[in-house]
Amino acid sequence: MSTAISTFFNQPAALFTTKSLTITSIGLFAGVALSFNAIIMPSLRRVPNTTALPIWANAYHIGKNLQVGLIMTSLATGSIVYYKTENPYFIVASMTMTSIIPYTIAFIAPINRTLFAVLDTHDYDLQKGQKSGQTVVARDTDFELDQLFIKWDLLHFGRTVLSFVALAVALYGSFSSKAISSK
């Protein structure tokens, strides 16, 4: 079995495929991340927070699994490309993508917890995208939500920048002289 796997990864088509998967997964992550900064968050700031918070929560839940999968794909395929070619740009791109996870845990997760706590406190029904009870969001909570959305968007932009740096590094690596050689 290991011989078959080794044979597969020694073929030029397999190397091309793993390079393509690395670049594609990083590019998709960068695009999704940018769409949050350029489209979703600005749109949410134009509607009342009682509407914006459940929408943000839904978008977060959908995007979280997609983005973790894209990070893991870039790590796995970028590591294979590095192993087969010793092209350092692919491992640097993969590690840059992987650094998004501790960045998110350190800086964005506390804001996420606060936003979800507000959501839970005010009894929102995520499935319907509306409040299920009669609780009214107080003005100070509304101001706090505005500030949290702005801070979340700013910190999320750090993830967007990291992903575009990783994409640039991987693209450069695919056209560098190291991209031609393989073990």
**What does the pLDDT look like over 66-92, one tens digit per residue?**
999 999 999 999 999 999 999 999 999
50 in helix, strand or coil?
helix
Q: What are the sequence ranges of the domains in the chain? A: 2-179
pTM of the model: 0.83
Q: Count other Cβ atoms within 10 Å, centred on residue 56.
A: 23
Alpha helix ranges (H) inside 36-105: 41-44, 49-85, 88-98, 100-103
Segment 111-164, tens digit of pLDDT: 999 999 998 886 554 444 444 444 444 555 778 899 999 999 999 999 999 999
